[in-house]
C-alpha cells in the first residue's frame, strides 16, 4: 500500500516539474527547457502525455485502493464463497465496457496530438536557413557548412555554431554504424543510417550553449559521443565563420614552431587536418581551430592543455576503444605539440 502511494506521489511531482520548468539559456540536457520552436512543440506534446497518463494512473490507483478497502474479510479456515460465480453481473460489464471506451478515446487523443505535433515540426519556416552536413563516426561528429561556394565551406568537429533566429537544416549521414542525434533543448532526435541521408531542422531563439548526444547505441563509447551547439547573435556567428575559413596561424613561439614540425612528421598528420599545413588527413576531427573549442574527444574532456596532453599521450585511458592510437612522445615533444595546437584558434 505504501509503495503504491509513493508511486502516485512520484508521478504527480514529475508532472508538476515538467509543467513548471522555466526555459533558460545554457540549460542542461533537458526537453523541459526549450529554446526553439521545435523543442517547444515537443514539450507541449510531452505535457499532454504526462498529464493524461498521470490522471489515468491516479484513477487506476484509486480504483485499486477502493477494491482493497472493500475486499471481503474472512478467517483463514472459512470456506470459499462461490455463490456469485454463476450470477449475472451487468453493472460490472458496463463498468468494463465504459473503461474500455474511455481508454480507446484517450489513446486516440494522444495519437491526434502526436500527429499535429509532427505537422508543426515540419512547418518550421526555412527562409535564409543555414545548411550544415553532419557526419557521425565512432565516436565523434564532423560538421561541414555547405552555404556558399566550395572555398567558403567550413569544416569543424564536435562543435556547431549557429546564428540565433535563423533556421538550421542539418543533413545527417553516418560513416559507419547507426547513430542518432538529439539536441533536446532545440529539437527532435533523428537517426543516422549508413547509406541514407536524414534531415533535422531547428532554430535557436536565444544565445547559449546546448549539448547534443548520440542516443542510439553505436559501440563501446556510445555514451561519450557528445556534441556542443553554440547559438550566438548573427554578427558573432559570421565573425566565427570567417575566422574558421582563414588558414591556421603561423606559430611565432619557438616551442610552438617545433610542435608544428613534430605534428606534421608524426602520425597526427596522417589522420587530422590543419588548414594551410601539410596535415590533410581525413580520418579524424579537423583540428584547424581546435584551441577555440570547449571540449576534446567529442565532449569527453574540457579543452585544457593538461587534458590535451593526456589525450594525445594515451587516448585509451579516457575513451577505451577509440580509433586514435597512443602517440609515444617525450615530455618535451608532447609539450611542443600541445603548445602548437594551443595556437590554432
Would you kindly state where each structural domain of the chain is located, as residue ranges? 2-67+93-122, 130-245, 254-341
Contact 141, 192 (CB under 8 A): no
User: What three-state secondary structure class fits 205?
Assistant: coil
Q: What is d(CA 117, CA 34) in angstroms, rounded to the nearest whole number?
A: 15
Domains 130-245 and 254-341 equal at CATH topology level: yes
Phi, psi of 198 (to 5 degrees): -110, 160
Phi, psi of 82 (to 5 degrees): -110, 20
Instruction: Kindly give the confidence (pLDDT) of every residue in the chain, 345 residues in length, as a single tens digit, with 9 standing for 90 and above.
Output: 445 444 444 444 444 443 333 444 455 677 888 888 999 999 999 999 999 999 999 988 998 898 888 777 777 777 777 776 777 778 878 888 998 999 999 999 999 999 999 999 888 898 889 999 999 999 999 999 998 777 778 899 999 999 999 999 999 999 999 999 999 999 888 999 999 999 999 999 999 899 999 999 999 899 999 999 999 999 999 999 988 888 888 888 899 999 999 998 888 888 898 988 888 888 899 998 999 999 999 989 999 999 999 999 999 999 998 988 888 888 999 999 999 999 998
User: What three-state secondary structure class fits 199?
Assistant: strand
- State in words which class domain 254-341 has: mainly beta
**Taking the domain 130-245, which CATH number applies?**
2.60.40.420
Cell matching residue 9: 506521489
Amino acid at each position: 500500500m505504501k509503495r503504491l502511494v509513493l508511486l502516485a506521489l512520484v508521478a504527480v511531482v514529475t508532472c508538476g516539474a515538467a509543467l513548471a520548468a522555466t526555459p533558460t539559456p545554457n540549460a542542461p540536457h533537458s526537453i523541459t527547457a526549450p529554446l526553439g520552436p521545435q523543442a517547444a512543440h515537443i514539450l507541449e506534446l510531452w505535457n499532454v502525455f504526462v498529464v493524461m497518463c498521470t490522471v489515468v494512473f491516479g484513477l487506476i490507483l484509486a480504483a485499486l485502493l477502493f477494491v482493497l478497502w472493500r475486499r471481503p474479510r474472512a478467517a483463514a479456515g472459512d470456506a470459499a464463497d462461490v455463490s456469485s460465480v454463476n450470477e449475472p453481473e451487468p453493472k460490472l460489464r458496463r463498468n468494463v465496457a465504459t473503461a474500455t471506451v474511455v481508454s480507446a478515446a484517450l489513446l486516440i487523443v494522444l495519437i491526434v496530438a502526436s500527429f499535429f505535433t509532427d505537422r508543426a515540426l515540419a512547418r518550421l519556416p526555412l527562409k535564409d536557413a543555414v545548411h550544415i552536413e553532419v557526419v557521425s563516426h565512432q565516436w565523434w561528429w564532423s560538421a561541414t557548412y555547405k552555404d556558399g561556394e566550395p572555398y567558403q565551406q567550413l569544416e569543424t568537429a564536435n562543435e556547431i555554431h549557429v546564428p540565433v533566429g535563423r533556421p538550421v537544416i542539418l543533413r545527417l549521414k553516418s560513416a559507419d554504424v547507426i547513430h542518432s542525434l538529439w539536441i533536446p533543448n532545440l529539437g527532435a532526435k533523428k537517426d543516422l543510417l549508413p547509406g541514407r541521408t536524414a534531415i533535422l531542422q531547428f532554430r535557436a531563439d536565444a544565445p547559449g550553449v546546448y549539448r547534443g548526444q548520440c542516443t542510439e547505441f553505436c559501440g563501446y563509447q556510445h555514451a561519450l559521443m557528445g556534441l556542443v551547439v553554440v547559438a550566438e547573435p548573427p554578427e558573432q556567428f559570421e565573425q566565427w565563420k570567417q575566422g574558421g575559413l582563414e588558414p591556421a596561424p603561423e606559430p611565432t613561439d619557438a616551442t610552438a614552431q617545433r610542435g608544428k614540425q613534430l605534428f606534421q612528421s608524426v602520425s597526427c598528420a596522417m589522420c587530422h587536418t590543419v588548414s594551410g599545413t601539410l596535415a590533410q588527413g581525413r580520418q579524424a576531427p579537423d583540428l584547424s581551430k581546435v584551441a577555440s573549442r570547449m571540449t576534446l574527444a567529442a565532449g569527453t574532456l574540457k579543452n585544457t592543455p593538461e587534458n590535451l596532453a593526456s589525450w594525445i599521450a594515451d587516448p585509451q585511458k579516457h575513451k577505451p576503444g577509440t580509433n586514435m592510437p597512443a602517440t609515444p612522445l617525450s615530455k618535451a615533444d608532447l609539450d611542443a605539440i600541445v603548445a602548437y595546437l594551443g595556437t590554432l584558434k
